[in-house]
Amino acid sequence: MKIFRANKDNIKLAANLINNGGIVAFPTETVYGLGALASNKNAVKRIYRVKGRPENNPLIVHIYKIEQALSIAKIIPSDAIKLIKKYWPGPLTIITAYNSSSNISSVARANLNTVAIRIPNNPIALKLLRLVDAPIIAPSANISQHLSPTSADHVKNDLFNKLDHKKDMILDGGTTKIGLESTVIDFTKKNPTILRPGGLSIKLINEFVKASFDTTKINNHNPLSPGLFKKHYSPKAILRLDADYPIEGEAWLGFGKNPRSINNFININLSKEGNLEEAAKNLFSMLRYLDKLQVRKIAVKKIPNKDIGIAINDRLYRGAANSS
Ligand code: TXA
Ligand code: MG
């Protein structure tokens, strides 16, 4: 299967494929998504199969205008309205009660009575959504528990042999801007809760609504989100976090100024300037790169736990849960 450059004609082709039950990998501002018509049960089932994703882990519904959310959600609490008015399109996913007269496949919702919704901020994604003019379900376009894809090549490496070369396609829209997934906030309880830190920082969220985020709940037995198990976002290599310098047999994944005398080691840097946004954008692709070099162990410099650094640390922490 070819990878198709995301020009006007190919986005049209992609919309037709989706309308015919196909699966299309497409760029969003966060990571690449693997999209299918949200109402098409068989296509949605195939997405789970292609990813090797357990069917109890629900998917995010992607839309292009707020009106669509008003009919998919039973109600959207005022706090959520405040946030989506400010940050949609953008890296924000809201969980609300599901309106049972809407037509999002129950498979996509893992049979829950809640639903996850977002408007992505990427012109290709928005064009595709507008052409299809119906909600598209889209998990990240990677093998389940692997690193999320930030380029069409990453999608190809994970899923090329699993997609149907007649029905499906990969749309190439270059590397994604943010590089980490959306922030997921649950609005179904009394107080909004952040289930997954992501591209929209908790600081910015808290300027509008008080949302709690409890990292102590990140463990395998009590996942905040049905699919948010501790082991996730895993490279093949073993990660050693908060490292000061690499030791024999480790590659170095730096942040900010590199330690001296690491020249003998395989070493790359998430952001030499110590810029958290740049680090977020590089994280998954650099981990994939080190995997490609068949590095067995990676020492990772401590990342400041603020702004998007909170999401970076969340992914690193889960990635390091490899062997547990
Ligand atoms: O940035 C993103 O969000 C990307 C792009 C493609 O939009 N998508 C993405 O999807 O990361 P996925 O499927 O890899 O992650 C969706 C997360 C999962 O942790 C899932 O458990 C959670 O959202 N989720 C979905 N529906 C939910 C629900 N009803 N209740 C709680 N968590 C839910
Ligand atoms: Mg994912």
pLDDT score recorded for residue 233: 76
176, 29 in Cβ contact below 8 A?
Answer: yes
pLDDT score recorded for residue 159: 97
Whose tokens are 């196909």? That residue is: 22
CB of residue 182 inside a 6 A radius of ligand 1: yes
Same domain, 260 and 121: no
Atom of ligand 1 at shortest distance to CA of 120?
7
Ion ligand 2 contact residues with beta carbon within 5 A: 140
- Of all ligands present, the nearest one to the C-alpha of 58 is 1
Residue ending a domain, choose from 198, 213, 228: 213
Same domain, 34 and 145: yes
pLDDT score recorded for residue 1: 64
Q: What is the domain-level CATH number for residue 20? A: 3.90.870.10
pLDDT tens for each residue of 183-232? 999 999 999 999 999 999 999 999 999 999 976 555 444 455 555 555 67
Same domain, 202 and 84: yes
pLDDT tens for each residue of 54-110? 999 999 999 999 999 999 999 999 999 999 999 999 999 999 999 999 999 999 999
Same domain, 175 and 271: no
The DSSP-derived string for 151-169 is SHHHHHHHHTTTS-TTT-E
d(CA 261, CA 283): 23
Q: What is the mean pLDDT of residues 46-51?
A: 98
Atom of ligand 1 at shortest distance to CA of 112?
29
Same domain, 108 and 254: no
Same domain, 153 and 16: yes
d(CA 309, CA 87): 19
d(CA 42, CA 40): 6
pLDDT score recorded for residue 321: 85
pLDDT score recorded for residue 6: 98
CB of residue 140 inside a 6 A radius of ligand 1: yes
Q: How confident is the model at residue 264 (pLDDT cuts 50, 70, 90)?
A: confident
Residue 309: domain span: 238-319
Give the residue among 51, 45, 58 at the shortest CA–CA distance from 25.
Answer: 51
With a CB cutoff of 8 Å and minimum separation 6, the contacts of 296 are 237, 238, 249
243, 112 in Cβ contact below 8 A?
Answer: no
Q: Is the pTM of this model over 0.85?
A: yes
pLDDT score recorded for residue 229: 54
Q: What percent of the chain has pLDDT over 90?
A: 90
Give the residue among 142, 141, 136, 145 at the shortest CA–CA distance from 117.
Answer: 136
The domain tally of the chain equals 2
CB of residue 58 inside a 6 A radius of ligand 1: yes
